[in-house]
Structures are given as structure tokens and as C-alpha cells.
Structure 1
Amino acid sequence: MLYVDIPSREEFSRLADVRSDACISIYLETSPLRQKLDASKIQLGNLIKEALDQVAEKGLDKRRLALLEEELYSVLEDEGFWDLHARSLAILATPDSIKTYRLANELPNQLEVSERFYLKPLLRALTFPHSAYILALSENQTRLIEFFADVPPVEVAVPNMPSHKRDAMGDAALNDHHHGAVHHKVRLAQYTRKIDHALRPLFASHDYPLILASTEPLASIYRSTNSLPNLTDETLFSNAEHLGASELVTLVRPLMEKYYQAQLKALKSRFETRAGERRVTQDLSDAARAATFGAIDLLLINIDSSVNGTIDNDGVITFSGNSNEASYGIIDEIAKRAMATGARVLAVRSEDLPAGADLHAILRYPL
């Protein structure tokens, strides 16, 4: 199983606001298989040494350097920390604090040293989650199953979630057969409401898709009582209690692909509509000003693009030919400013954007 702990969007915004005399951003290839982590630890040791060399060359105070070294090596030398991992590890450190995030995305080894964190790879992890859940639902059995791209699925224990209808209704469920179909549906709605209530805390801090596997009328009743925006439109209509977790995942994977393709198709259609209203831009300067003044509604940024420079308080860009302490990734800064004003921000591959675009934005009002 993968052990993933990506930040919420609120936490991402707080990370984007961090400024320090030394911000170290390390992205490290890892593996859910413990026997493969020794290579990751060796690579991390090399990246830590390189990071410390860079900040020393920039003249970081020796006491601050010692604090930073202590923070970084506290991760490398923590044996318990290396027991559980996913496909990538993000380490964001200053001399005063350190944060780690285990990610399902396969990210290449990377080191960035600046006065702020490099967060674009982390934003990718927030965009299209590599994890999804299946709610396998019948009157006799309720299971929540988590799965990733190529790792065996695992059943998740959800506090206070009824394991079957009788568990939700108690003795009252025993007498349902003495009443009509309408009464039975009322009982099922009570059952599904309790399931929905139990799932809310789990889905409160992330956007992982939830796919329903059930039969009628229970599937429709669950949808009528559902309050989770994570629930996908597609349903696997099957008697889930007779299927194991791996069988369910096999049947659900085509639905996941439809889900992601539908999202991208809907975005493309939305951009086409807004373009006719002069509410679309791919221009970095226009996007920087729009993000600064809260004018961006939806922003797609190119995960593969890197443009250095600065953006002032009026949203004016000064481009820089190379990365140094006086400049930073301006696409990251546009994303941060847009997110801070309530925009939806997605990090996508270049093929999901118009040719040659570093970003693609829908504005709240015309240019």
C-alpha cells in the first residue's frame, strides 16, 4: 500500500507564503517497497550535502546553517520515518522548520534553493489525485476500498460507518419485511445517510474521487442522500458483496479513466466558451496582473514550464534570464496569488494546454 500525506489547499497556501534566508525544496524518488528505499536514502544524503554547500556559498550565517543541517538530517536518520513510503517524497526545510509529504506521483529527484519553496510538483499532487476510493455498498455489507495506480488495494476502516443495514438500524431493520416498499426505502435512506455522515471527515481535506459500486434501488438512494462532492457520476452497477477488492478495482479502472477524461473535456469546453467572451488569456503578464487583483477564476499551469523573474505588488513581471535569490518561478507565484483569491488551480502536462502555453486562465470578467 502507498502511504500518502499531501497537504490541503490551505496548507499549500501557507507554504507558498513562507520566506526565509534559506528555503530548501527537495523532491526525491521513493518506493512503497522498503527494500528499495536504501537507494533513496543515499540520494537524499547527496541532495542534502549539495543544498548545504549552496547555502554556505551564499553566506548563510553559520548558526543558521547548523540549524538547517540538523533539520535535514533529522529526516535522513529517522529509521521509523523510512518504514512507510509512496512513490515520491517532498522535503521543505528552513533553519526554523521542516515539512515532509509522501506523494503518489512519480517525481524525479530535484533540489531547489531559494528564499521561498518550490511548490509546483506539490501542486501537481493536488490536481489529479492518484488515489481513489470505492464505496462497495449493499444492504448486507458496506466497504470503503482505497486504491492506487499499480499497488494492491486496501480496505479502509471508517469510524462510525455502519457495516450493513442492520448495523445502522438495529432491531428495527429486522421488521422491514412486514412493511411496504416505501417503508423499506425509508430505511435504506436512513442507512445511506449514516454512511455519508461517517465518510465526511475522511473526505474533508482532499479531493480524491469516490466511486459507488452498488445495485438499484440502493445506488439511487445513496446518491440522493450523498453530500460529498467527491462522488463521481459513474456508478459500477454490480452486487459488490460478492466481489473482492482487487476484482472491484479491475472493474472500476475504466470508470476512473472516463472520470479524468470528462474533467479535461469539460475544462476544454469551458475555455472555448469563455474565449468568446474575452475572458481567457495565455499571456503571462496579463495573468500576473489578473492573479494579483483576484480576477482569475480557473488557472491551468504547465508543470513542465519554468520561467524566472519577479512580480511586484501591482502584478507587473520583471523577467530574469536565470534563477537566483532575486528571482523565482513566476508561474508558481501566479498560481499562488490566484489560489489565494479563490481560483481553482490545476497543474497539468503541456499536452493538456494550447501549444506552447505556460498557462491558460479563465478570468472572472473580460479583459
Structure 2
Amino acid sequence: MPNHLKPAVEVSDRFHVQPLLRTVTVNQSAYVLALAQNSVRLVGVSSDLPAVELNLDGMPKDVASSARKTSIKDRSPSGRLQGSEGMKVHQVQYARKIDQALRVLLVGKETPLILAAAEPMQSIYRELQSYPHLARTAIQHNPETQSDAELASNARSILDELFRDELAEIHSLYALRTSQSRTTSDLVQAARAATYGAIQLLLIDIDDVTPGTVDDDGAVTFADGPSAKSYGLVDEIASRALVTGAKVMGVRKSDIPGEAKLAAILRYPF
């Protein structure tokens, strides 16, 4: 597992999925596009495996080959260098071909794409690329001087930043929805809301195991302690919310508003 988990033993008539939810609901993988005028490579990054370079059909090698030239310093028919305007055209063509090659891999995905590039290629690529999940923050150092492992290390820092930004947006939305009576951090209310499909977004503490049961109508019965007849209430609430199409994120207690066991944003007052 890529996350640190507390030791736990669960005996019940259902799987205890709560500790796994951070792995599958919080981005811990990414693609890094290491882009320079003379080279380009795509590196796959995960939280617990070595970085690996990915080969894509149609990916150009550099600006010159993309422009079908032996060198970007080729002279024009008149014998003069093409100049900065001609160079910009070749760079744009190069970036566009890269974007086209990436579409086959990235279509339908939400995995963050992190750019490692210096100027002017960074700005050129950002202006014309089509993938909606390109990270705002880029790896600024020259990608040609960085190994795949170094790119992966820098990418993980950006993934942490993306997670913090997402949490900040969720906290702001939670505050707004609280003023509209569309939030709860109460286990009893959250269980009923999950049962009837009223939860839109749910943050859960992946380490909490409050024993009890939830009946078919969403009513909660707390248990005096863990047993084979009970299970984790937060785990059960998360499972019911997932079944009804809610977005569920497994986080740490410190990431939840009020450091509660869970925090739910509701689709409507409930």
C-alpha cells in the first residue's frame, strides 16, 4: 500500500474498505511531460513504484524532426536564417504534434499531467494543449538534465500541492453549503443521507473505526465495542454513498472540517 495505515483487525459479514479509499480517491500518480526543443519524453509516476518512460506512437523527437529539417538552424532558400518568427512556427508545430500524440493515451482520464519545461516551450505548450488536467505548477528545471526518478520526485511535490488545493476548495464549499443547511458531520444524519442518496461529496477519516450497524432505512445503532455483529460505521456510510454516486475521499482526520470522523456535503437540505 502506498499509504501508512494503522494496524487493524475486522471480523464482519462485509469487507472493510475504508483504509483503501485514500489510495483510490486521492491522486497519487501522474504523467510528467519532459519537454525541450531537442527532446521530449513522457514519464509515468506512481506513489510506490519506480518512474517509467512511456513510448507513444506519433510522438516527435525534437523541433527539427517535427519540422522535417535536419537542424532548426537550417537556412532558408535565400541563404538566411529563418529568424525568431520561423523558430516560433516550428516550436508551435512541435508542441501540437506532442499534444496529438498524448490524446490517445489521456482521453477519458483525470490523471494529472505535469509539465517539465523551460521557456519558451512551457508557454507555447500550455497555450495550445487540449488536456483539461494539466497542472498549473510546472517543474521548472531543464528536463534534459533530470533523470526519470528526479522528475518523479518533483512531480510528487506537485501532487501534494494539487491535493492541498483541492482540499481548500472543498473546505470553502463546505462552509458555503453549511450556511445553506446542506452539510453534516454527524454519523447518524450522514448514515440516513447516504442511504437515501443525499450525499454529493464525503470526506472520511480512513483511520476511524466507530463500531455499530446501519439498518435498511439508514438508522444507526452504536455498539459498545467491536464484534462480529458490528462493523465500522464510517466505512458503511462511505460504501452507501459510493453506491449512490457520491464522490468519496479518504483523508486524515486533520483534513476534515472540525476534525470530525466525516464531513458530508449534501445535494439538498436533508
Q: Normalising TM by the smaller chain, what interval?
A: 0.7 to 0.9
SS at match of 2:218: coil
1:137 alignment partner in structure 2: 35
- From 124, 127, 146, the equivalent of 2:22 is 124
Residues in 2 aligned to 1:323 and 1:279: alpha-carbon distance in whole angstroms: 31
1:187 alignment partner in structure 2: 93
| Distance change in 2, residues 1:342/1:150 (3 Å) | closer
Residues in 1 aligned to 2:63 and 2:258: alpha-carbon distance in whole angstroms: 56
Residues 96, 125 of structure 2: 8 Å contact kept? no
State the 1:363 CA deviation. Answer: 0.8
| Residue 308 in structure 1 maps to residue 206 in structure 2 | no
2:54 alignment partner in structure 1: 157
1:11 alignment partner in structure 2: none
**Percent of aligned pairs sharing the same letter:** 38
Residues in 1 aligned to 2:48 and 2:106: alpha-carbon distance in whole angstroms: 27
What are the within-5 Å matches in structure 2 for residues 1-367 of structure 1? 103-147=1-45, 153-160=50-57, 162=59, 164-165=61-62, 169=66, 171=68, 180-181=85-86, 183-184=89-90, 186-200=92-106, 204=109, 208-223=111-126, 224-229=128-133, 231-249=134-152, 251-252=154-155, 254-355=157-258, 357-367=260-270
Residues in 2 aligned to 1:237 and 1:356: alpha-carbon distance in whole angstroms: 35
Deviations 1:204-236 (A, max 9, x none): 4xx55332111334323433323253x322112
Structure 1 length-normalised TM = 0.61
SS at match of 1:298: strand
SS at match of 1:286: helix
State the 1:282 CA deviation. Answer: 0.6
| Distance change in 2, residues 1:309/1:110 (3 Å) | closer
Computed over aligned residues only, the root mean square deviation of the Cα atoms, in angstroms, reads 3.2
State the 1:334 CA deviation. Answer: 1.2
2:79 alignment partner in structure 1: none
Residues in 1 aligned to 2:157 and 2:15: alpha-carbon distance in whole angstroms: 37
| Distance change in 2, residues 1:174/1:264 (3 Å) | same
- Which amino acid is 1:188 matched to? Y
Structure 2 length-normalised TM = 0.80
State the 1:307 CA deviation. Answer: 1.8
> Any gaps of 5 or more consecutive residues in structure 2?
77-81
| Distance change in 2, residues 1:199/1:176 (3 Å) | farther
Residues 309, 329 of structure 1: 8 Å contact kept? yes
> Any gaps of 5 or more consecutive residues in structure 1?
1-102
Count of residues paired in the alignment: 260
State the 1:256 CA deviation. Answer: 3.7
State the 1:120 CA deviation. Answer: 0.8
The structure whose residues are more often helix, as a share, is: 1
- Which amino acid is 2:105 matched to? L
State the 1:134 CA deviation. Answer: 2.1
- Which amino acid is 1:120 matched to? Q
SS at match of 2:249: strand
SS at match of 1:305: coil
